[in-house]
Chain A
Amino acid sequence: KAGVTQTPRYLIKTRGQQVTLSCSPISGHRSVSWYQQTPGQGLQFLFEYFSETQRNKGNFPGRFSGRQFSNSRSEMNVSTLELGDSALYLCASSLMGQGAVEQYFGPGTRLTVT
């Protein structure tokens, strides 16, 4: 079974621009979560989608948004990019069931804002 895929893997943008990142979960997984990883803050939860609905949201400004499609694929968008948005953006998918389940992470998209 193929793992979680993220595109693009690397991205360079200029401050003020916007960016869209894509995540394809493992087949059959309906929950997709997004995280931002930086050397200073570590891994931080952005939001989680399940059945095309945002179920949980982390403490990030409204410039960060996302959506999920009917096939469970997800996108996240960052508008008006700032230098501090440079980070590794990771998505993770989960097979929802009874109780907590582990997350399967993709390789991430490395975003550099100049």
Chain B
Amino acid sequence: SQKIEQNSEALNIQEGKTATLTCNYTNYSPAYLQWYRQDPGRGPVFLLLIRENEKEKRKERLKVTFDTTLKQSLFHITASQPADSATYLCALDINQAGTALIFGKGTTLSVSS
């Protein structure tokens, strides 16, 4: 069955640095991969979607890469701020439409000032 892993449960960095989160998957070739942010007590919030034929996607301070050969996605937050502290979830879809997602367990990012 499909498996998705985020290599770190927690990541602590200083304000202004770049945070890099890793997502690896096996037993599947997704057409899309998504990243979400979740704050305590709230539902996940969509950040970025990247397609299998896209190598990289950017949105403001966020950048996602997608390597279908390595079966890996990297998520970067540049010039990190304390407000970026949250849990970040990687998800791949199992129905090619993005409405049936398998999520990694998340990486909790803490940015200290």
**Contacts from A to B (Cβ < 8 Å):** 4, 31, 33, 35, 42-45, 48, 50, 55-56, 58-59, 90, 92, 94, 96, 99-108
Contact = CB atoms under 8 A, between A and B. Distances in A.
Contacts, number: 84
A35 B102 CA distance: 10
A96 B51 CA distance: 17
Nearest to A97: B97
> Which of B91, B93, B98, B103 is packed against the most chain A CB atoms within 10 Å?
B98
- List the 6 shortest-distance A-B pairs measured between CB atoms, nearest first: A105-B43, A100-B98, A102-B46, A43-B103, A56-B100, A42-B105
Nearest to A39: B105
A27 B33 CA distance: 25
A43, A59, A90, A94 interface centre (most CB from chain B within 10 Å):
A43
Q: Is the contact region of chain B dominated by helix, strand, or loop, or is it mixed?
A: loop
A77 B26 CA distance: 32
A13 to B, nearest CB: 20
Interface string B86-100: 000101011111111
Given A45-B103, A92-B43, 7 more contacts: A43-B89, A55-B95, A99-B51, A99-B97, A102-B98, A103-B44, A103-B98
